[in-house]
Homo-oligomer: A and B are copies of this chain.
Amino acid sequence: MFDDTSSTSPATDVSDAPAGFAKEQLKAFVERIERLEEEKKALTDDIKDVFSEAEANGFDKKALREILKIRKEDEEKRKELDAIVEMYARALGTIL
Contact = CB atoms under 8 A, between A and B. Distances in A.
A88 B71 contact: no
Nearest to A26: B91
Interface residues of A, number: 58
Interface of A: 1, 9-14, 18, 21-23, 25-27, 29-30, 32-34, 36-37, 39-40, 43-44, 46-47, 50-51, 53-54, 57-60, 62-64, 66-68, 70-71, 75, 80-81, 83-85, 87-92, 94-96
A22 B88 contact: no
A79 to B, nearest CB: 9
Q: State the oligomeric state as a number of copies.
A: 4
Main secondary structure of the interface of A (DSSP, over half): helix
Given A36-B50, A57-B22, A57-B25, A14 B83 contact: yes
